[in-house]
Amino acid sequence: MKDWIIAWSQHLPVLPIVVPLLAGATMLLLGESRRKLRGSIAALATLLQLATALALLSFTTDAVPNVWPHGIGVYAIGSWVAPYGIVLVIDRLAAFMLVLTAALALATLAYSLARWERVGMHYHSLFQFLLMGLNGAFLTGDLFNLFVFFEVLLAASYGLLLHGSGAARVKSGLHYIVVNLAASLLFLIGAAMIYGVTGTLNMADIAVQVAKLSAPDRGLFEAGVAILGVAFLVKAGSWPLNFWLPSAYAAAGAPVAAVFSIMTKVGIYAVLRIGSLLTLSGAPAPFAGDWLLAVGLATIVFGAAGMLSAYHLGRLIGFAVVVSSGTILAAVGLDAPHLTAPALFYLLTSVLATGAFFMLHGMTERTRLVTEVADAAPLPPVTYLGFELRGSGMPPVRDAEPEEGEEVGIAIPAAMAFLGLAFVLCVLLVTGLPPLSGFVAKFTLLATALASATGTDGSAPLAVWLLIAALLMSGLAGVIGLARIGMRLFWSPIPRTTPRLRVIEATPVAFLILLCIGATVAAGPLMTYLDSAAVTLHSPRLYIDAVLSPESVGALYGEKRQ
Amino acid sequence: MEIILALAIGILAGSGVWLLLRPRTFQVVMGLALLSYAVNLFIFSMGRVAVGRPPIIGPDNSIDPALYADPVPQALVLTAIVIGFATTALLLVVLLAARGLTGTDHVDGRERDQ
């Protein structure tokens, strides 16, 4: 490869943070009336993030070995060397999460261009800031910087959750904000304790310093890490700290809920990242071992029970998000390094599937007639309180011009057929039935758990059987709950309108489902990549050496220093 | 001085948790504010409590770290204060909106007996 490409590629890791920041800030300056311009800026920024994420993904693979050693790239912000400066670290896991975020963001952005951006202020700016927080949380190698990016994404998510206003949104938003603020305070306490004991905030340096701690300090450190872990588990939506999650996700607008489906995975990412770095000196309870397994299993049971009891599709998908969080946490808690790759595959499938499902839910909501909305659904698609209602069942639109905008859209023929088919595919993906990637994910997860845990006498430990039972049971609960709601949605004799769908709304759902089908077809190469990501993740020495070695920073500014 | 600081943090955090568990939104906001004060003091104390030590190394002094306070927790506190301030302001707006839309200041949006 040419030298200048390599030189410039060293600056790629900062782009996923800078691009949405600039795009979001620029859009704040534009008036609300310049919708087309803001929409194109947002689309351009999201496309750019997807391209950057894909480039980063390719640089971390073995196909391009000469860019970063072991696929771990370190970007020292302002050229301040770790552990004194803040570094961004891109490894295979981070690159994978970036690509997933960007793909989901592209789909939800396209969906929201149809109508959702119009029901409130500054939708696109908040959306870009949310992406900035997500990308930053995946990239950063500094504990306090992680807190800042968590706050960025949470602050944006508060605004997005309230987007469209209405009593239900404000009510669940209040719970969501209070719970997350309390969790952020826990995060701060944990980070401060860790800093007080180790004297550093760099994650790689923390892993090194822990080994040098005296016994009393070690106790204090473990307490700090435990508090930090509780904060992460709140964000990950694990039982018993997730009662806010289903109602918040059900109340959010369809594209907002869809992009939220990756937010719980940020907590899981943090647990994975910090847990793997601390394995060198024995990770404390919330990051590994039996506690995490128990929490994960309880989360699965809670989510499955919620799926059985939910009457409203949005709540049910919220519980599906809870189940997916619990599954991944339980898989991490089994302490088998081989399980990480299947768990990541499951994460990919569940994020894409629940994202598509939330958007699909936004469209099926429109098949209800207005009178029915009042009694059956807790929440109309867009609130009728703040804005006047126009037309029948169509969400009200703020300014006069979009009235024509509704007509411009091409009504998809056989819209109900599309909705039904997409619904079935989403159910297959979420519950893990064959033949789609949900099944592949669950199957590899179970097969690997059995294979790696089976002892010489051919018997697997109780924990593995518990995980298998919980996974299968949650799948069954999902099928029952979703089949019941599906029958009511598509087969019940209540008079319904056939919704007018626009291509720009249907395509994102189809895109996400096609990505899942692609993941099914290309499961082999994908698993190979995820396996290598898991190997890098479970070799914390590689990460620590990459961050703390002076060469990694020297490579970035090599020409200047030599 | 350590005991006073510890007591202050403890009292603030205790009152904050108690208020956070109360049913009225205003009490919850006050609880969060008190909790964030406690947390900020806690972060500050993690840089060790010392009197008369500047956090910035001057040009004329010799560089002996023992003479200086740790500047990192002070920077962290500053960041935490700014973030806490902004989110509390946002929460106040949501609180007012909830009061306006539901007609009650109960955190669940309805009184218990309804």
Q: What is the ipTM of this complex?
A: 0.91
CB within 8 Å: B98 and A170: yes
Residue to test with chain B: of A147, A169, A185, most B Cβ within 10 A: A185
Split into its structural domains, chain A has a count of 1
Q: What is the pLDDT, as a whole number, of residue A386? A: 40
CA distance A24 to A125: 4
Secondary structure class of A75 (helix, strand, coil)? strand
Of A133, A517, A52, residue with least CA distance to A60:
A52
- Cβ atoms of A321 and A431 within 8 Å: the answer is no
Q: What is the pLDDT, as a whole number, of residue A557? A: 47
Confirm whether A290 is domain-assigned. Answer: yes
Residues contacting B40, CB < 8 A, separation 6+: B77, B80, B81, B84
CB within 8 Å: A196 and B83: no
| Residue A87 bridge partners (DSSP) | A76
Please report the sign of the dihedral spanned by the C-alpha atoms of residue A465, residue A469, residue A472, residue A475. negative
pLDDT in tens, chain A (562 residues): 566 776 777 788 888 999 999 998 888 888 777 788 888 888 999 999 999 998 888 888 877 666 677 778 888 888 777 778 888 888 889 999 999 999 999 999 988 887 777 777 788 889 999 999 999 999 998 999 999 999 999 989 988 888 877 777 888 888 888 999 999 999 999 999 999 888 888 888 888 888 888 888 888 888 888 899 889 988 888 888 888 888 888 888 888 888 888 988 999 999 888 888 887 666 565 566 678 888 889 999 999 998 888 888 888 899 999 999 999 988 888 877 788 888 999 999 999 999 998 988 888 877 665 434 433 444 444 444 444 444 434 444 444 334 444 444 455 557 777 888 888 888 888 888 888 888 888 888 888 888 876 655 555 678 888 888 888 899 899 899 888 888 887 776 666 666 677 777 888 888 888 988 888 888 888 888 888 888 888 888 888 888 887 655 444 444 443 3
What number of C-beta contacts closer than 8 Å exist between A and B?
A: 87
Confirm whether A9 is domain-assigned. Answer: no
Instruction: Answer left, alpha or beta for residue B2, where phi above 0 means left and psi between -120 and 50 means alpha.
Output: alpha
B chain contacts of residue A201, beta-carbon cutoff 8 Å? 72
Q: Is the minimum CB–CB distance between B34 and chain A shorter than 8 Å?
A: no
| Residue A114 bridge partners (DSSP) | none
Residue of A nearest to B76 (CA): A144
CA distance A531 to A525: 10
| Residue B24 bridge partners (DSSP) | B106
Q: Shortest CB distance from B95 goes to which of A174, A185, A195?
A: A174
Residue of B nearest to A244 (CA): B108
Q: Give me the torsion for CA of A196, A202, A208, A213, rounded to 10°.
A: 0
| Residue A75 bridge partners (DSSP) | A88
Secondary structure class of B57 (helix, strand, coil)? coil
Q: What is the pLDDT, as a whole number, of residue A351? A: 92
Q: What is the pLDDT, as a whole number, of residue A189? A: 92
**Amino acid residing at A126:** L
CB within 8 Å: B90 and A155: yes
The distance between the two most distant Cα atoms of chain B, rounded to a whole number of Å, is 70
Confirm whether A491 is domain-assigned. Answer: yes
The distance of A386 to chain B (nearest Cα, Å) reads 10
Residue of A nearest to B25 (CA): A174
Confirm whether A387 is domain-assigned. Answer: no
- Cβ atoms of A127 and A163 within 8 Å: the answer is no
Of A198, A202, A50, residue with least CA distance to A135:
A50
Place of tokens 């007591």: B7
- Cβ atoms of A497 and A371 within 8 Å: the answer is no
Q: How is A255-296 classified by DSSP, letter by letter? A: HHHHHHTTHHHHHHHHHHHHHHHHGGG---GGGSSHHHHHHH
Q: What is the pLDDT, as a whole number, of residue A369? A: 53
Confirm whether A268 is domain-assigned. Answer: yes
Residue of A nearest to B24 (CA): A174
Q: Is the minimum CB–CB distance between A251 and chain B shorter than 8 Å?
A: no
Q: Is the minimum CB–CB distance between A195 and chain B shorter than 8 Å?
A: yes
Q: Is the minimum CB–CB distance between B47 and chain A shorter than 8 Å?
A: yes
CB within 8 Å: B25 and A174: yes
pLDDT tops 70 at residue B107: yes
CA distance A130 to A255: 13
Instruction: Tokens for A224, please give them.
Output: 């700090």
CB within 8 Å: B101 and A170: yes
Q: What is the pLDDT, as a whole number, of residue A46? A: 92
Q: Shortest CB distance from B76 goes to which of A144, A166, A167?
A: A144
CA distance A191 to A347: 27
What phi and psi, each to the nearest 5 degrees, are found at residue A496? -135, 160
Q: Shortest CB distance from B20 goes to which of A144, A151, A182?
A: A182
CA distance A348 to A341: 11
Residue of A nearest to B98 (CA): A170
B chain contacts of residue A189, beta-carbon cutoff 8 Å? 39, 42
Peptide bond into A413 cis (omega under 30): no
The distance of B112 to chain A (nearest Cα, Å) reads 15
Q: Any idea which fold B2-50+70-102 has?
A: Helix Hairpins (1.10.287)
pLDDT band at B15 (very low <50, low <70, confident <90, very high): very high
Query: Residue A13 is inside which H or E element, if any?
Result: none
Q: Shortest CB distance from A192 goes to which of B43, B83, B101?
A: B43
CB within 8 Å: A181 and B94: no
Query: Where do the H-state alpha helices sit in B24-66?
Result: 25-45
Structural domain of A248: 19-381+412-555
CA distance A314 to B62: 64
Domain ranges across chain B? 2-50+70-102
Angle between helix A167-198 and A143-161 (nearest 10): 180
**Amino acid residing at B15:** S
User: Which of residues 139 through 178 in chain A touch B, CB cutoff 8 A?
Assistant: 144, 148, 151, 154-155, 158-159, 162, 165-167, 170-171, 173-175, 177-178
The distance of A496 to chain B (nearest Cα, Å) reads 29
The distance of B60 to chain A (nearest Cα, Å) reads 23
Q: Is the minimum CB–CB distance between B14 and chain A shorter than 8 Å?
A: no
Of A108, A4, A5, A1, residue with least CA distance to A50:
A108
Residue of B nearest to A155 (CA): B87
Q: Shortest CB distance from A195 goes to which of B25, B46, B80?
A: B46
Q: Is the minimum CB–CB distance between A227 and chain B shorter than 8 Å?
A: no
Q: What is the pLDDT, as a whole number, of residue A554? A: 46
CA distance A437 to A423: 15
- Cβ atoms of A53 and A99 within 8 Å: the answer is yes
Confirm whether A513 is domain-assigned. Answer: yes
Residue to test with chain A: of B77, B83, B88, B96, most A Cβ within 10 A: B83
Residue to test with chain B: of A178, A187, A221, A247, most B Cβ within 10 A: A178
Residue to test with chain A: of B15, B76, B104, most A Cβ within 10 A: B76
Contacts of A207-215 with C-beta under 8 Å, sequence gap 24+, read A207/A277, A207/A278, A207/A280, A207/A281, A207/A540, A207/A544, A208/A544, A208/A548, A210/A278, A210/A280, A210/A281, A211/A280, A211/A281
CB within 8 Å: B102 and A167: yes
Q: Is the minimum CB–CB distance between B21 and chain A shorter than 8 Å?
A: no
Q: What is the pLDDT, as a whole number, of residue A66? A: 66
Residue of A nearest to B73 (CA): A192
A chain contacts of residue B99, beta-carbon cutoff 8 Å? none
Of B77, B73, B107, B68, residue with least CA distance to B91:
B107
Q: Is the minimum CB–CB distance between B26 and chain A shorter than 8 Å?
A: no
Confirm whether A405 is domain-assigned. Answer: no
Confirm whether A389 is domain-assigned. Answer: no
Residue of B nearest to A198 (CA): B46
Secondary structure class of A64 (helix, strand, coil)? coil
The count of other CB atoms within 10 Å of the CB of residue A206 is: 25
The distance of A82 to chain B (nearest Cα, Å) reads 15
Instruction: Tokens for B114, please give them.
Output: 């309804």
Q: Shortest CB distance from A177 goes to which of B46, B80, B94?
A: B94
What Rg, from alpha-carbon coordinates, does chain B have? 19
